[in-house]
A and B are shown apart, each in its own frame.
Chain A
């Protein structure tokens, strides 16, 4: 199905207005994804936020909404069953029904991860496809959640176009996911939430109301979230994140998700206010909404009652002010009351141009055993193979999600012998070293993490002959090297690692230099802090 065909199909459809049907919402958030995943920071906060928006603005009655935080997969299926049952009951009383399912958390290997349990995405999709509720909308904010729509044709594109000329009821399923099937979904400390949910929520509050009718439809929310998520992740270390959508709607229309105009309380940015992007920051320091103001149109943001800071960025300074949204009252932004401020005072500093990935620097301290062998050496038998003991400190994600640093010290030794004529000279061989590595974590969020890297090593080799009349030999060299590694997180902190390393050095004796190639295999147990 092409985008154009989709647009044409949806052109005939009308929005299902909030309140026109009985709405049910299952909102799920889980910071923990069990083995092989690292706890998220904001998944449950995202869920709370979406739950609040759906209940406050989305026409979902509190008794028809269920918020699951930190629960296992069985609780998800039980809640789906319950809301399905309630939806069918509503439909039996001739009330059209809409079911929203929102999930924020880990997804991996085709399943939502909920603590140590899993909910296969295929099963979820099957449940939604087979649901008898007329309209089902699933929003999945999780890594590689695009898998959910992959088999049905994921669309990495701006939103479908809709028109509200038709008043037919909708039937079918819409699935929105935060990222494509091969992408990570990112959280942002600056936004205090996942990037996709932040923009989706901001859009649902009114930022996405492109038509200016005070209602935010599914297509508007998606278009807004798509554009902002792609833009906001374009420069992140984890790479750009493309939300996807899939639909199976028959005779359907676009869906009004939130009715901003229905709420009297909130913020209005009048058409006379200067164009530009306004950030509204709540009293917790989180960005409650972003508003792109264009073209002299009044824009409303359905903010919950509370104190906020409004900021608008200019090229060389900020405009900054405070406002208070009172219950049942619409606050109107009076832009001239904003004060000039320096960028240093920006409460949303970092949220715009530097959306950080969810991975922060993680020290990993490990001890390991290795085996070193010189495959190319100046003279046969000069440097012996030897087992090594290694102490290593990794700073995973020190430079970005993918790039980290590693430092290691090692020592080891063996007994060997130098052939002289028909005899041998036994010697004790010693090897010491120190390295600094720059490592690229190929899949920094996965259980199995391949790592490649470059290193600079300082190597010291010694030979102490059994014959005390022969002098001790000491040789040291700086040797650049390359590393291929694999990391596997066994539990939350315990990591097992294997590295294969090659070093190249030069053996210089008087004026003669010869190549020195060393290969090392290391196995480590490490503790990640």
Chain B
């Protein structure tokens, strides 16, 4: 009798083994959760550029391309983390949540990390968290939200808590890159598609500094990138300078930049700002340039710049050759 039962159990075990699956890494639900995580497509800033920048490229176009690359590089670090999560099946599945980890933080011995993705009523939220192994609550280092009604489009936020990370790990010597907070807001469910990023930090002198990027991508592939920074660019320990650049381009790549430098070293008795306008054609070559030192909106020093380097501050070309109508940022 016992033998019979044992054989039946063995038969059931064999059947269970025979029908057991393996490699079941994602369910449809999992995929729905993963869709909530930001993608490279959603966060990339795309500025038309030649495959290899030429020395003849308009200076503000070059600056815009380099700025976009810098933004993309920063976002890529976060996307790499997201890709790492996506490549792994969840450790735990709950009806409205997925949990990855906790795992030891290879970069910081004694710490452990986890990633939590939660489904709320009308959006998803997620957090990459860390703590000393087994000690206290996890501290969110990156938090995000995502609102969507479809599989492909939506809008979301991504906040990076640099200060919290440093505090958790007791990092005090931050050198010159003392980042405090990062915030990304992205929209790809309405036009124009946008990625807006803001970083706040302290400069090397302990003064607050911030940098802001706003990228818009229109359906016809024209676009805009506004970047603005406040910091002690002059590095003179005085009031920080403020730089504001608004670049626009068409689908062909031709574009213009309207820029202003003010405050700090640009706030003197003779002038309080320097306004720039540059245009470039579809080969990115400069077709118009003008620079005006102004005091309260009046050009106070026409020609002053011309004597400094003979070209860059002198009007070049015809403004009418600009493909975009002049706008005031």
Contact = CB atoms under 8 A, between A and B. Distances in A.
Contact of B23 (A379, A422, A474): A474
A476 B23 contact: yes
B22 interface: yes
Contacts of A380: 28
Contacts of A465: 31
A510 interface: yes
Contact of B41 (A421, A463, A469, A504): A469
A456 B14 CA distance: 12
Interface in B32-60: 32, 34-35, 37, 39-41
B316 to A, nearest CB: 43
B19 A470 contact: no
A510 B24 CA distance: 8
A471 B34 contact: yes
Given A470-B31, A477-B19, A422 B149 contact: yes
B18 interface: yes
B21 A470 contact: no
A378 B29 CA distance: 11
B151 A379 contact: no
B93 interface: yes
Interface string A468-485: 011101111111100000
B151 A505 contact: no
Contact of B22 (A418, A467, A469, A476): A476
Interface string A422-443: 1111000000000000000000
Contacts of B90: 510
A504 B19 contact: yes
Among A418, A420, A463: residue with most chain B CB under 10 A: A420
A474 B83 CA distance: 17
Interface in B1-30: 15, 17-29
B80 to A, nearest CB: 12
A469 B40 contact: yes
A469 B152 CA distance: 11
B24 A422 contact: no
B148 interface: yes
Contacts of A475: 21, 23-25
Contacts of A418: 28, 31, 151
Nearest to B42: A469
B20 A379 contact: no
Contacts of B149: 421-423
Contacts, number: 100
A476 B17 CA distance: 13
Contacts of B27: 378-379, 382, 509
B307 interface: no
Chain A interface bracket (under 10, 10 to 19, 20 to 34, 35 or more): 35 or more
A470 B34 contact: yes
B212 interface: no
Interface string B282-293: 000000000000
Chain B residues touching A, range: 20 to 34
A508 B24 contact: yes
A509 B22 contact: no
Contacts of B135: none
A418 to B, nearest CB: 6
Contact of B21 (A381, A422, A456, A506): A506
A423 B20 contact: no
Contacts of B39: 467, 469
A423 B25 contact: no
A478 B35 contact: no
Contact of B25 (A379, A456, A473, A477): A473
Nearest to A426: B151
Contact of A509 (B20, B24, B37, B87): B24
A472 to B, nearest CB: 9
Contacts of A504: 19
Nearest to A470: B34
Interface string A194-223: 000000000000000000000000000000
A471 B19 contact: no
A507 interface: yes
Interface of A: 378-382, 418-425, 456, 463, 465, 467, 469-471, 473-480, 504-510, 512, 516
Interface of B: 15, 17-29, 31-32, 34-35, 37, 39-41, 83, 86-87, 90, 92-93, 148-153
23 contacts: A379-B29, A380-B28, A418-B151, A419-B151, A420-B32, A420-B151, A421-B149, A421-B151, A422-B150, A423-B150, A456-B18, A469-B40, A469-B86, A470-B34, A470-B35, A473-B26, A474-B23, A475-B25, A477-B19, A478-B19, A506-B20, A508-B20, A508-B21
Considering the complex of A and B, which 3 residue pairs feature the smallest CB-CB distances, nearest first? Answer: A423-B150, A477-B21, A420-B151
